[in-house]
Amino acid sequence: MPYGLNVAHWDTLLTDSQLSLFFKQIAIINRAPSHVLSLHTHFADAGRIRQAMADHGYQHIHPLYVYKPNQNLKGTNQFIFAVDQILVGYKHSRNDIKLTFDDPNPTMRHNLLFSHSVNSRFSVSGNEPVNITQKHPGVAAYLGRVFCTPGDTVLVIGAGSGSEIIGFNRAGMNVVGVEKDAKQFRGCCSRLVQEKASIKKNISQHVREKAQIAHLKLQVSTFQHHDPDVDPKNLSSDDDEDVPPVTVPVVSDCVICGDPLNGDLGDCDLTTCEMSQLHVKCLMPKHDAGADCTHRFCSEACAALHTCAPKPASEPETTESTAETQQTE
């Protein structure tokens, strides 16, 4: 849904009458006896959209929060908006939909999704981004795996630059995309052509991203055991009787290249990074921080955060004599 932030000419909130017409149009074209509706919403408009969903027959409406841990810092002295919100509704009821989760562990079924940020928005011929609010395809792929089965048909209303089309297709869905804006429609078509042409590269990247997201989810599911003030040995077993044990996945593939782990293995040298059991050959060679630096990192981001990373040269300070001369002139 439009956020109403006016980041583009199409980003204006729907009026109440337009919102009602939107749901009526969905009812006309969607003849499925039961289906799921998921809408990206701005937090300030979520209450109004939720009420509209309920007024048009959707039940068990609830939010999904998409957390982007590596969201870039924009500005200072402010919070970083690293959480997106999706409203999910079921017609006619949630009981009509079979949800499929990757892991039976309850902590893996929280309404919190981990997603990578979009660091580079798709553009055509180096022009401005096709969609300034472009989402990561992994979000749609997750929704497809949970709410659908391979071969189901998904309708993407407002396809934008095509992230949802790509994500649902990766999850095995047949996808129909609708985009009103002519510029975004042409850009989406161009991106889909490129996606098909570079499918092998995209699959490799998708595998790496999936492994990184799984690592984040594991950290959340075992968070109680990382509290430095609590000894795991002293945790009461009575509180955990009904909670199935957390299964720690066995890392068998390098998350950078996706190949089986063998030969020389290493870890990222950034002390706060937990990327480990990687091929040494996949780690970045020592960065430009002097001949004495022998550190290796899993990504450029980690290299930039290390204490031995080169610091930008500061501007020379103005001496008092120079300042006095300028004032005299």
Q: What is the DSSP string of 116-166?
A: ---SS---STT-S-S-TTPPPHHHHHHHHHHH--TT-EEEEES-TTSHHHH
Q: Which of 90-99, 154-163, 257-266, 312-321 has the lowest mean pLDDT?
A: 312-321
Q: Identify which of 155, 147, 197 has the alpha carbon closest to the alpha carbon of residue 171.
A: 147
DSSP H or E stretch at residue 320: helix 320-328
- Chain-wide mean pLDDT for the chain? 79
Distance CA 31, CA 112 (A): 30
Q: Are 133 and 94 in contact (CB under 8 A)?
A: no
Residue 160 has pLDDT above 90, yes or no: yes
Neighbouring residues of 82: CB distance < 8 A, sequence distance ≥ 6:
67, 68, 69, 71, 117
Under 8 Å between Cβ of 154 and 168: yes
The β-bridge relationship of strands 112-114 and 59-67 is parallel
**pLDDT band at residue 103 using 50, 70 and 90 as cut-offs:** confident
DSSP for 74-85, please give it.
-SSSS----EEE
C-alpha pair distances (Å), 313 with each of 105, 306, 310: 50, 17, 9
Within 10 Å of residue 10's Cβ, how many Cβ atoms? 16
Measured N-to-C along each axis, helices 199-221 and 137-147 cross at an angle, to the nearest 10 degrees, of 70
* Residue boundaries of the structural domains of the chain: 16-201, 262-309
Digit-coded pLDDT (tens) for 235-251:
444 444 454 444 444 55
Q: Each residue of 278-329: pLDDT tens digit?
A: 888 888 765 555 556 677 888 877 877 776 655 555 444 444 444 444 444 4
Residue 45 has what pLDDT?
A: 95
In which band, very low, low, confident or very high, does the pLDDT at 260 lie, cut at 50, 70 and 90? confident
Q: Where are the beta strands (DSSP E) in the chain?
A: 35-41, 59-67, 83-91, 112-114, 153-157, 174-178, 265-266, 278-279
More confident residue, 74 or 129: 129
Report yes or no: 306 and 295 within 8 Å, Cβ to Cβ: yes
Look up the CATH architecture of domain 16-201: 3-Layer(aba) Sandwich (3.40)
CA distance 112 to 171: 19
Asked whether the beta carbons of 148 and 173 are under 8 A apart, the reply is yes
